[in-house]
Amino acid sequence: MDIVSSYSAATLGWHIIQAVPLIVWPQVIIGLLNIDAPTPAGLPTTGVELYFARSLGFALLALGMVTVVLTGALPMTSMVETPTDSISPYANAVILLTTLHHAAQAFYCWARYNQTSQNGFLLGFAGTAALATFGLWCVLFGGDKSRVSSQTGADKRTSNFPFGRPDKKKQ
C-alpha cells in the first residue's frame, strides 16, 4: 500500500469514527456539544437537529468514500486494462481538498477547546491535525516516483555543479 492509499484509508477511517455516532445516536452528540445553551441537556432534540446531525454523518461518509475512490486506492478498472504504476489524475486535487478540510476542522476544534476546555474538542483537534499534517506530507512528497540511481544511490534530479568533473581546460 503506497502512502496516498494510506492517507485515503486513514481519512475514511476518521470520517467513519465521526459519522457513525452522528447517524446512530444524534441525540447523544447534540447533548454532549450543547454547552452554550442555558437550558438543561435533558431536553428532547428537535427534528431539525436530528436532520442536520444525520445529514452531516452521511456527508462525512460520502467524503471519506469519495477520497478513497478518487485517489486511486480503490481501483475502478481491472488490472488488465491499466498498468499498475498509474496514479489517479485526481489524487493530488483530492488530497489537497481533504487536507484543507482537516486543517479547517483542526482549527475549529482548537478554537472551541480554548473557549470551552472540553476534552472532546481536544481529541478532535488531535485527530484532524494529524490527518492535516499527513495530507500535507502527501501533497508535497507522496505522489513523486523515486528517481534514485541504482548504481550510485543518488537522486537523479540533482546537479553535480560544485563537485562535478571540469570540462577539458582550455590551454
pTM over cut 0.75: no
Domain-located, residue 169 = no
Q: Is the per-residue pLDDT at 171 higher than 60? A: no
Domain-located, residue 111 = yes
Domain-located, residue 162 = no
Q: How far apart are CA 154 and CA 42, in angstroms?
A: 65
Q: Which of 56, 49, 32 is nearest to 121 (CA)?
A: 32
The three cell numbers locating residue 124: 478532535
Q: How far apart are CA 77 and CA 142, in angstroms?
A: 22
Number of domains comprising the chain: 1
Domain-located, residue 80 = no
Domain-located, residue 55 = yes
The tens digit of pLDDT for each residue in 126-166 reads: 999 999 999 999 888 876 665 666 677 666 666 666 666 66
Domain-located, residue 84 = no
Q: Are 113 and 143 in contact (CB under 8 A)?
A: no
Q: Which domain holds residue 43?
A: 3-74+90-142
Domain-located, residue 164 = no
pLDDT at 61: 94
Torsion sign over Cα 92, 96, 98, 99? positive
Domain-located, residue 53 = yes
